[in-house]
Amino acid sequence: DAEITQSPRHKITETGRQVTLACHQTWNHNNMFWYRQDLGHGLRLIHYSYGVHDTNKGEVSDGYSVSRSNTEDLPLTLESAASSQTSVYFCASSEARAADTQYFGPGTRLTVL
């Protein structure tokens, strides 16, 4: 069965360190998204990609970057982790280019100390 996975599921890091969160999907979807979820804010879009070598900034992209070298993976990098980036991160993929039927990964809980 097709799926979308994220790793690690939990991560504790220190301020200033670079951190990369992995996202891998086997749906063969062109469209992939990264969100962060914080209490009271719902899901906020960080970056998204509509195909290989395509990346776009979302609502809260400062301090984050992504790269898309193949269809299956969209890693999210925090260049220099900050305590404000402590959050739960969800990766999603979809066949359509918007909120219609997005499939979410299990999430990564990141704590920046």
Closest CA to 5 of 113, 104, 110, 109: 104
- Stretch 22-61: interaction string toward other proteins, x if CB under 8 A: -----------x-x----xxxxxx--x-x-------xx--
Instruction: Tell me if 100 contacts other proteins by CB under 8 A.
Output: yes
Question: Strand, coil or helix: what is 12?
Answer: strand
Instruction: Tell me if 104 contacts other proteins by CB under 8 A.
Output: yes
Nearer to other proteins, 14 or 64 (CB): 64
Nearer to other proteins, 69 or 101 (CB): 101
Instruction: Tell me if 113 contacts other proteins by CB under 8 A.
Output: no
Q: What are phi and psi of 83, to 5 degrees?
A: -60, -30
Residue with tokens 């951190």: 19
Helix (H) or strand (E) holding 84: none
Nearer to other proteins, 17 or 41 (CB): 41
Instruction: Tell me if 63 contacts other proteins by CB under 8 A.
Output: no
The answer to whether 89 and 76 have CB atoms below 8 angstroms apart is yes
**Is the CA virtual torsion 33, 23, 49, 109 positive or negative?**
positive
Q: Min. distance of Cβ 11 from other proteins in angstroms?
A: 16
- Which residues of this chain interact with other proteins, rule CB under 8 A? 33, 35, 40-45, 48, 50, 58-59, 90, 92, 96-107
